[in-house]
Amino acid sequence: MGRTHRIVVIGAGPRGLSIVERIAAHAASHPHKILDIHLVDPFPPGAGHVWRTDQSRLFLMNTPSFFPTVIPSDATVKTAGSSYPEPIPEISGLTFEAWRRGVADDPSFPYIGLSDEDLAEVRELTRTGFPSRKLYGTYLTDVFARLRSGLPRNVRLTTYAQEAVRVTTADSESSRPYQVELGDGVLLAAHSVVLALGHTDARLRDDQRDLMEFAESRGLHYWPPAVPADVRWEGLPAGRNILVRGMGLNFHDVLAQLTEGRGGTFEPDSENSERLIYRPSGREPKVWVGSRRGTPYRAKALLETYYPKSTENRFFTRAYVDRTQERARAEGRLVDFEVDYWPLIRRDAQWNYYKTLVRVSPDDISGDPAEFLDRVDEILSDVDHVTWWNQMDRLVSERIPRNRILTPERLTRPFEGESFESHEEYAAALVHFLDRDVSASIRGEDSPLKMAIGSLNQARAVVKYAVRDRGISDESWVRGLERRFGSLVDGLASGPPALRIQQMAALARAGVLRFLGPDPVFRADDGEGCFIASSPWVRDEPVHSDWLVEALAPANDVRVSTSPLIGRLFEDGLARPHQMHFSDAPAPVPSKGLEVTPPPYRLVSASGEEAAGIYVLGLQLSSVQWGTAIAAEADATLEFGSGTVADSNDIVASILE
């Protein structure tokens, strides 16, 4: 054997696992080099923090079984080319769905660490079902065990159940230029360091800190943003008002723990197959929830594929993105998301909506449906970005009932501008909204609404490709991508399985779940000595409570992260937030992600110099990537849907070159 190259990987969740997998895959090309991996994480390797296997089975993934993976499918590997070495045989092709089928259907399939409850879930799950996060963590743990058992002879792996608290540069005389300090004081010398940190805790906003201080001074209970599996939900009292802020994905975890987690049960409604009935255990609190939109994320459609088979995104495509970026470079400018991309995304959503409407509900169209669709095609195909929307508005206003016209921005705030006399009136309207959303999800490919949302979801994948590595201007990134498109598509396409919306409606009917209304105000009331919440759109008495729960995860933002490692990187001058440039700002503005070089994403120091051997992977790349929290898609190409896998490969190739 030749010289040893020591690599410290900080973070042992899916991204750290991907780095280890890529090192093993590349090892055959470096037979005379010893690759010494040191994997650091206080949580178990593979599953890491978010996917750890000791969490409640009530926490579900928000993608179906066939979607997520940490190992690309055989088809993906075959199309990747020689720059992407095949995984070692022990894990080759082992996507989550391949693993699930093996465990469920093949008696000879080996697996590690599955309980009887795990096996029961695997066998009940279908390819379109939604696994528990616990089960996905079991898959990741199993992949790690297989990977470790099959490591090539020239790869060594040591794990540390510790937190990394500092990365420093070593003495100039040292052959290993970096040192990683662990929480117990151990120092690991390294030639290369990979930061695969995943989610970190974050400082509270000013308003959240005020609520926390008020709670502490009055003996109340304020629960800040947290990973749901970290929270002791049994600490919330039965029968009392509990205020919950946020109706995103974490809210469904809160509900699950406070209902099914306390012995309540759901059963089918014999009078309506699309509804559930909730049977309380009597140990539930009274949950009062509010969010800016006043509604939860839309439920995912029931589909056989991640993107609907019937949608056809004709306008916003990768080919269009490539042409637009080439033209922008030739003109010496950066792409503007709102000007260059957003109109095309909207056209695709309109086309897929009305194409589906004509197919499934032709009677909703005044006149000849085929002629109407031809006219839609004609308008959308017009290259004039200015007039097409006005033409579409006139056409659909004349030919379509008002309640069937698609207005994407209206979808996320369906009660915009409406007032309600009481909480009961608002609850009745919202439960009706939930029932209709479930019905649309069940219709799947036959729902015009869900096909428009499917079109936006498909566009989201192209957007990730288009904006990667600062493919648009900084102003456009914030104004167009994050505030406009991101906030819209998250509420529509990133939602939970339809089961969660059915459960919400059932809990509301049972009186366990109550709704505050849109744009709620949560405040600390000195006179009452408690928290008070109300909505300006619901004319009813404010709700009082001694408990306030934030139903969201800590912010993914390096500027407010409480990670000691990130904090020390800034203090030591080894890192800085990415600097964004706006025409109306006198100086650059720090962004949420770390400053990095172009791929393979080496860290950039406070002085602007790159750290040749420190690489960044995953969530802290939000400065150069969008949608960093989304898992790799099992059958996607590396550059289009499996970005984390591609990034891992690029990093390892750079380390070993």
User: The CATH number of the domain where 519 resides is what?
Assistant: 3.50.50
Q: Looking at the structure, tell me whether residues 145 and 189 fall in a common domain.
A: yes
Give residue-wise pLDDT tens across range 443-461.
999 999 999 999 999 999 9
Q: How far apart are CA 602 and CA 75, in angstroms?
A: 30
- Expressed as residue numbers, the domain containing 537 is 206-296+512-550
The yes-or-no verdict on residue 173 having pLDDT over 70 is no
Q: Are 172 and 159 in contact (CB under 8 A)?
A: no
Mean pLDDT, rounded, for 89-108? 96
Looking at 462, 493, 524, the residue that finishes a domain is 493
DSSP string, 407-452: -HHHHT-TTTT--BSSHHHHHHHHHHHHHHHHHHHHHGGG-HHHHH
The burial class, CB within 10 Å (0-12 / 13-18 / 19+), for 266 is middle
| DSSP sequence for 147-165 | HHHT--TTEEEEEE-S-EE
Residue 136 lies in a domain: yes
DSSP H helices in 44-153: 74-80, 96-105, 116-124, 133-149
Neighbours of 157 (CB within 10 A): 18
In a domain, 306, yes or no: no
List pLDDT tens digits, range 280-338: 999 999 999 999 999 999 999 999 999 999 999 999 999 999 999 999 999 999 999 99
**What percentage of the chain has pLDDT greater than the value 90?**
91
- The string of pLDDT tens digits covering residues 569-586 is 999 999 999 999 998 888
pLDDT at res. 335: 95
Cβ atoms within 10 Å, residue 209: 13
Tokens of 267: 């059963």
- In this prediction, residue 346 carries a pLDDT of 94
- Whether the per-residue pLDDT at 385 is higher than 70: the answer is no
**In this predicted structure, what is the pLDDT of residue 388?**
87
Contact (Cβ atoms closer than 8 angstroms) between residue 38 and residue 160: yes
Is pLDDT of 492 > 90?
yes
256 and 362 belong to one structural domain: no
User: Is 188 found in the same domain as 221?
Assistant: no
Q: Is the pLDDT of residue 642 over 90?
A: no
**Tens of pLDDT, residues 244-265:** 999 999 999 999 999 999 999 9
Q: What confidence category does residue 629 fall into, taking pLDDT thresholds of 50, 70 and 90?
A: confident
DSSP letters of 248-300? SHHHHHHHHHHTGGGT-EEEEETTEEEEEEEE--S---EEEEEESSSSPPPPP
- Above 90 in pLDDT, residue 384? no
630: confidence class by pLDDT, cuts 50, 70, 90: confident
For residues 131 and 239, state if they share a domain: no
| Residue 384 backbone phi and psi in degrees, to 5 | -75, 110
Would you say residue 556 lies in a domain? no
What angle is formed at CA 478 by the lines to CA 472 and CA 481, rounded to 5 degrees? 65
End-to-end alpha-carbon separation of the chain, Å? 17
Q: Which pLDDT score is estimated for 639?
A: 82
Structure tokens at 330: 């030739």
Model pLDDT, residue 631: 84
560 belongs to a structural domain: no
Whether 543 and 640 map to the same domain: the answer is no
User: 468-485 pLDDT, tens per residue?
Assistant: 988 899 999 999 999 999
Same domain, 170 and 214: no
CATH number at residue 68: 3.50.50.60
Better pLDDT: 389 or 138:
138
- The torsion region of residue 2 among left (phi > 0), alpha (psi -120 to 50) and beta comes to beta
pLDDT at residue number 45: 98
**Count of structural domains, the chain:** 3
Q: What is the mean pLDDT of the chain?
A: 95
Residue 531: other Cβ atoms inside 10 A: 27
Going by the DSSP 8-state scheme, the letter that residue 228 receives in this structure is: G
pLDDT confidence of 65, banded at 50, 70, 90? very high
The 10s digit of each residue's pLDDT in 494-513 is 999 999 999 999 999 999 99
Find out whether 290 and 535 touch, Cβ atoms under 8 Å. Answer: yes
On whether the CB atoms of residues 566 and 555 are closer than 8 A, the answer is no
- Looking at the domain assignment, is residue 219 inside a domain? yes
Residues 322 and 368 in one domain: yes
Shared domain check, 454 and 328: yes
Task: Provide the 10 A C-beta neighbour count for residue 174.
Answer: 11
Residues 410 and 523 in one domain: no
Give the other-Cβ count within 10 Å of 219's Cβ: 8
- Check whether residue 261 and residue 114 sit in a common domain: no
Q: Are residues 479 and 528 in the same domain?
A: no
The reply to whether 179 and 245 lie within a common domain is no
CB-CB contact of 45 with 144 (8 Å) = yes
- Which is nearest to 56 in space by CA: 101, 99, 117? 117
Is residue 61 situated within a structural domain? yes
pLDDT band for position 2 (cuts 50, 70, 90): low
**Mean pLDDT, rounded, for 157-162:** 98
CB–CB of 430/294 below 8 Å?
A: yes
pLDDT above 70 covers a percentage of the chain that reads 99
30 falls within a domain: yes
Residues contacting 585, CB < 8 A, separation 6+? none
Whole-angstrom distance, CA of residue 511 vs CA of residue 533: 18
Q: Where are the alpha helices (DSSP H) in 448-518?
A: 448-467, 474-476, 487-493, 498-509
Of 493, 527, 559, the domain-final residue: 493
310 assigned to some structural domain: no
- The rounded distance, in Å, linking the Cα atoms of 168 and 319 is 43
- 585 burial (CB, 10 Å; 0-12 / 13-18 / 19+) is exposed
Determine the average pLDDT of the residues in 28-35.
94
Greatest Cα pair distance, the chain, in angstroms, is: 82
Higher-confidence residue of 657 and 447: namely 447
